């Protein structure tokens, strides 16, 4: 499982011109699922997202987590995180999980985030979404449950 984590001042999702989710200060997390992922991969990603110390403390140091600052998470499914563009110009998405597996693990990740007391908003799985990300910093991190990066 992969995630792109961005610290934001706000984030929102719209579908067909209608806003379906919005957060203020917190994290926008783009989540991709591959064929070999399990609930333990979801647990790893959720735990990392909750614990990342990427918010500034009173001394201006990145020492606080989203949980500690009372921030929210906007979780968006994004199968393209498993796109492979090493050959040619058209990415291959063969490593991305099938929709049934992906939605289950994506939802499990969201549920785990909520269990930590984090306010979580979501996009709509498989929808064509317009995602508004107001990256703060900018601070962007890549997570991979196989610890590839």
Q: What is the mean pLDDT of the chain?
A: 97
pLDDT in tens, 35-78: 999 999 999 999 999 999 999 999 999 999 999 999 999 999 99
Query: Among candidates 1, 56, 59, 62, which has minimal Cα distance to 29?
Result: 1
Cβ(144)–Cβ(33) below 8 Å: no
Give me the active site residues, please. Answer: 78-80
Enumerate domains of the chain plus CATH numbers. Answer: 2-142 (3.50.80.10)
User: What's the confidence (pLDDT) of residue 33?
Assistant: 98
**The dihedral of CA 48, 23, 6, 128: what is its sign?**
positive
The pLDDT score that the predictor gives to residue 149 is 87
Q: How far is C-alpha 22 from the chain's CA centre?
A: 14
Percent of the chain with pLDDT over 70: 100
**Helix H segments across 15-141?**
39-51, 99-115
């Amino acid at each position: 499982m992969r995630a792109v984590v961005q610290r934001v001042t706000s984030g929102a999702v719209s579908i067909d011109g209608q806003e379906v989710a919005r957060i203020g200060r917190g994290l926008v997390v783009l989540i991709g699922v591959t064929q070999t992922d399990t609930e333990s991969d979801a647990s790893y990603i959720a735990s990392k997202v909750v614990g990342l110390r990427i918010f500034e403390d009173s001394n201006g140091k990145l020492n606080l987590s989203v949980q500690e600052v009372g921030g929210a998470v906007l979780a968006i499914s994004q199968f393209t995180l498993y796109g492979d563009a090493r050959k040619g110009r058209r990415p291959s998405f063969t490593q991305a999980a099938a929709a049934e597996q992906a939605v289950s693990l994506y939802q499990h990740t969201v549920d785990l985030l909520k269990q930590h007391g984090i306010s979580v908003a979501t996009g709509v799985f498989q929808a064509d979404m317009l995602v508004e990300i107001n990256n703060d910093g900018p601070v962007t991190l890549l997570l991979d449950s196989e610890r590839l990066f």
